[in-house]
Amino acid sequence: MGDMANNSVAYSGVKNAVKEANHGDFGVTLAELRSLMELRATDALHKIQECYGDVHGICAKLKTSPNEGLSGNPADIERREAVFGKNFIPPKKPKTFLQLVWEALQDVTLIILEIAAVVSLGLSFYRPPGGNESRDLLPADGVLIQGNDLKIDESSLTGESDHVKKSLDRDPMLLSGTHVMEGSGRMVVTAVGVNSQTGIIFTLLGAGGDEEEKEKEKKDKKSKKQDGAVENRNKAKAQDGAAMEMQPLKSEDGGDGDEKDKKRANLPKKEKSVLQGKLTKLAVQIGKAGLLMSAITVIILVLYFVIDTFWVQKRPWLAECTPIYIQYFVKFFIIGVTVLVVAVPEGLPLAVTISLAYSVKKMMRDNNLVRHLDACETMGNATAICSDKTGTLTMNRMTVVQAYINEKHYKKIPEPEAIPEKTMAYLVTGISVNCAYTSKILPPEKEGGLPRHVGNKTECALLGLLLDLKRDYQDVRNEIPEEDLYKVYTFNSVRKSMSTVLKNSDGSFRIFSKGASEIVLKKCFKILSANGEPKVFRPRDRDDIVKTVIEPMASEGLRTICLAFRDFPAGEPEPEWDNENDIVTGLTCIAVVGIEDPVRPEVPDAIKKCQRAGITVRMVTGDNINTARAIALKCGILNPGEDFLCLEGKDFNRRIRNEKGEIEQERIDKIWPKLRVLARSSPTDKHTLVKGIIDSTVFDQRQVVAVTGDGTNDGPALKKADVGFAMGIAGTDVAKEASDIILTDDNFTSIVKAVMWGRNVYDSISKFLQFQLTVNVVAVIVAFTGACITQDSPLKAVQMLWVNLIMDTLASLALATEPPTEALLLRKPYGRNKPLISRTMMKNILGHAFYQLVVVFTLLFAGERIFDIDSGRNAPLHAPPSEHYTIVFNTFVMMQLFNEINARKIHGERNVFEGIFNNAIFCSIVLGTFIVQIIIVQFGGKPFSCSELSIEQWLWSIFLGMGTLLWGQLISTIPTSRLKFLKEAGHGTQKEEIPEEELAEDVEEIDHAERELRRGQILWFRGLNRIQTQIRVVNAFRSSLYEGLEKPETRSSIHNFMTHPEFRIEDSEPHIPLIDDTDAEDDAPTKRNSTPPPSPNKNNNAVDSGIHLTTDMNKSATSSSPGSPLHSLETSL
């Protein structure tokens, strides 16, 4: 097999015209082989039989021997490499240092340039280390030629928990990156490098860019010679749309492809995060307004001076006075610059950086390792989470979760004391010896991890049951080593059970058997009673167990296994061991157990929080649809009575593609809003779904999608998503590399904390904006008005810079470090178009600005009379600092200091002090600013244009500052809805037209003042409402007697849990999940009422587990027509 790795189908990049044209001597093209490897199980078999006859036909077309492989001739190898390429996936080329510096310079956030430069320097020299392949890792894709009990672990690629059995007559497709767990085999290699399934995933993650460029260049040189061949191949390719999304092979249609490439090249490399986009837009708007105000200020000051001096006073321009005039103009220019400096919010990016950096550090304590800084903030706007099932929602380990022992059905594993000693002995010995000795449970590799399951996962679940019962299987195996086993009937698809014979010291024999419950139970004539003694087991008793135990287990998605034994007395002649049917019969049933990959205990509560926060959780898994649906129900992704869709990857692809096999966004838009479970999905399907949701324009707000996953197969979707979460413990390196955040504890709950921190970042920025814009409005108006009236700004340039420092650096540090609260999860996501500054915040900004302007102008024009001091207005050019203007400055700073406390609440809450002592940074900054202000005023002197103030003047300044707190309470009592003139600011990217629904968005805005106003009315009407409600309930019951209840079929959902299904077994032998799903396909599917047979499996051989149950629909007036798409999806619980 190693030699045949050279029989390679290699990467051909975006355009494969050259290589396909040169396939010459070979009877198969690269595109044909690549599309073949995307098929699974029976689909692949049909394709091979249809196109090649069998695997030997593939070998013949590839001119290789199924026994000897390639000749090893260097010329032949070189020719194959030229046609098919090498088995090498080129790593993604890291950006150079200069590229990273240039990208940093493109951003307005120059403040974080130093940090970015340091990080960039490290990254520019980083190359991902090359890993060594272990001996059981498949290095390429291929088709099985010959195999012996070959079982493959495809969990890293498909998400499937069970090992997949490979055989020529069922599933001969072998995939690179998967592990051989049992058996041996020989295969012909059909796809290598970036054309293998693992390579395709790496391509989606951005690897192989250089190869694509080389191929494009080659194609450009030779395309003229190959036009005819290309056209013919394009026709063939157009019919095969199996992997349109992932395969760039079809872009050979001349000019169209080139135009698309150009368009793609012109697109921005990375879209800004939601917050970045809004902040940039807002900063530009404020900056323009500030620039306009500063220009007007300078123009007015210059004109006023010129007119007053040379027109009104009629003074001539004297040459000796020119330096003085220039000093005046410089002074005016400095005032204009001061207005501009105060107006432009250069602290915005700093606030974002501080908030994100602080959040990222704190998120580490919540087990979120943030790899990309903006992912934290983006997560706060998430509207959808597409989660993998295996390892993310579940434990990724088969576990016994229910058991029927001693005539009692335990919904949880019983305590050891509850099981009689005799039964326990049968159970321990039977499981220990009747499982392959290669199956074992080892200690965890990492601290805090779970024990490792090695070998068959079903057997590991049974061994885990013994550990749960405080028994050690290894003691039994040490006592009875494998070589002492008298006879073993291994598990296969015919017997659907495994049996092991032990010879006792007295010459008697005991056989232990385990297998699919419907098979083994039929062979049981006895069962262990409540006291552990065998008693007669009649067919009627068996039917009762099927109905009361096995069916309920199967309906919950559990795989049911029956454990049994039989004794052969010593006095009788030795049985004919080869006659298996006579041996494995007359058994005594020990127990029936239900096995599943259990849901992580914290997941249901975490999903409930997500749903309450307005985030839709979807499960995307490679597992079968029955198991996926059962897990989704247990997680809370699906709830009884909800309108939802559960689809398999094949149905999903059929629905989203047109007749040409191309994906259409309109078709995706019809599916994804109701889709909750996507089962049997390939990596392409996950990527397509995520891309489809992100690109959708069905709703006013663009969806912000987070994806969680742990396997290699999750890589493309993790990369495409707005935020990708990878599992830190169970996650593969590919998943981690593609992700934005790594969950260090593999805990879904940590995602909820990430949402909380993300929303907290958003709110922190809003708080900072509310504070800063209040200062901006007041400072600009004061500087502008004061300058125009008094020819001098009341707040000097240095004072303005100190105010700027307060409202930029220190305020951003204080307000951006507020810790998150659970209340953040009680609201819906803000979305991309929701403005940064809500109408409530605008009310607060304008309200506080009004108060501050009144105070400042009162002090400015009447302060000298109030405090009985000299006026500071109309002072000469180099006059010393005045008490008058110092009081104005000091009061202004005090108002900002106390308004910083007001700014902690942005939804109109009254208690602005709530949780203030939980933020030590905030308290320290407010106190520190106050102390520095005292030093500046008392000791600043001329540099700060300050004069010392008395205690009385200080107290008045503090009193007027504290007035902002009282004024804030007054503002809170005014309902925002009454102030129709208020506008929002800081929207995200808008559509050309704003839909009516978005204009009504303010209804959802939290307004505590409105709530308080209505509280009295609510109390008045509450009693009356209760009576009215009772009357309505009675009327509803009355009307239902006559009008009938709503028919479940009137819903558009294909699964409706409001009906009460009537479960019944279709045949005498129900189709119950088997001990190993890989062998279940040998049985013809049992008949289902109004449901067609299940489609062939896509990803592996495991069939849909669960009893085929039917629902009594006698009440229904209509049902889906057999030809409708819904009909094929009507599966029962």
For 560-589, write each residue's pLDDT tens digit: 999 999 999 988 888 888 888 889 999 999
632-646 burial string, b = 16+ CB within 10 Å, else e? bbbbbbbeeeeebbb
Q: Give which of 793, 790, 776, 773 is closest to 336, Cα–Cα.
A: 793
**For the range 276-279, what are the long-range contacts, defined as Cβ-Cβ under 8 Å and sequence gap of 24 or more?**
276/352, 276/374, 276/377, 277/832, 277/988, 277/989, 278/835, 278/836, 278/986, 278/987, 278/988, 279/348, 279/349, 279/352, 279/765, 279/836, 279/986
**Does the pLDDT of residue 880 top 70, yes or no?**
yes
Residues in the chain: 1133
Q: How far apart are CA 394 and CA 400, in angstroms?
A: 14
Instruction: Give tens-digit pLDDT for 1079-1095.
Output: 333 333 333 333 333 33
What the block records as the tokens of 1018 is 């609510």
Q: How far apart are CA 216 and CA 260, in angstroms?
A: 14
Residue whose tokens read 């308290």:
923
**Average pLDDT, stretch 736-763?**
88
Q: How far apart are CA 912 and CA 892, in angstroms?
A: 20
pLDDT at 67: 80
**Does the pLDDT of residue 223 top 90, yes or no?**
no
pLDDT at 7: 37
**Does the pLDDT of residue 652 top 80, yes or no?**
yes
**DSSP helix/strand/coil, 44:** helix
pLDDT at 611: 92
**Does the pLDDT of residue 431 top 50, yes or no?**
yes
pLDDT at 15: 33
Q: Pick the more confident residue, 694 or 201.
A: 694
pLDDT at 258: 44
**Does the pLDDT of residue 248 top 60, yes or no?**
no
pLDDT at 1071: 41
CB 712 within 8 A of CB 198: yes
pLDDT at 105: 59
Instruction: Give tens-digit pLDDT for 49-58.
Output: 888 888 888 8
pLDDT at 537: 92
Q: Give which of 420, 11, 433 is closest to 192, Cα–Cα.
A: 11
Instruction: Give tens-digit pLDDT for 488-543.
Output: 998 876 778 899 999 998 889 999 999 988 889 999 999 999 988 999 999 999 99
**Does the pLDDT of residue 681 top 60, yes or no?**
yes
Q: Mean pLDDT over all residues of the chain?
A: 75
Q: Pick the more confident residue, 702 or 205.
A: 702
Catalytic residues: 388
3-state secondary structure 359-416: HHHHHHHCCEEECCHHHHHHHCCCCEEEECHHHHHECCCCEEEEEEECCEEECCCCCH
Phi-psi label, residue 319: left if phi above 0, alpha if psi -120 to 50, beta otherwise = alpha
Residue whose tokens read 């037209």:
993
Q: Pick the more confident residue, 586 or 785.
A: 586
**Average pLDDT, stretch 240-267?**
37
**Does the pLDDT of residue 402 top 70, yes or no?**
yes
Instruction: Give tens-digit pLDDT for 262-306.
Output: 444 343 334 566 677 777 778 778 878 888 888 888 898 888 888
Neighbouring residues of 1123: CB distance < 8 A, sequence distance ≥ 6: none
pLDDT at 76: 83
Q: 159 falls in which pLDDT band (50, 70, 90)?
A: low
Instruction: Give tens-digit pLDDT for 453-498.
Output: 888 888 999 999 999 999 999 999 999 998 889 999 988 767 788 9
765-802 burial string, b = 16+ CB within 10 Å, else e? bbbbbbbbbbbbbbbbbbbbbbbeebbbbbbbbbbbbb
**Does the pLDDT of residue 782 top 50, yes or no?**
yes
**Average pLDDT, stretch 175-183?**
80
The percent of residues in the chain predicted with pLDDT above 70, rounded, is 74
Angle at 469 between CA 463 and CA 475, to 5 degrees: 60
**Does the pLDDT of residue 131 top 60, yes or no?**
no
**Does the pLDDT of residue 143 top 50, yes or no?**
yes
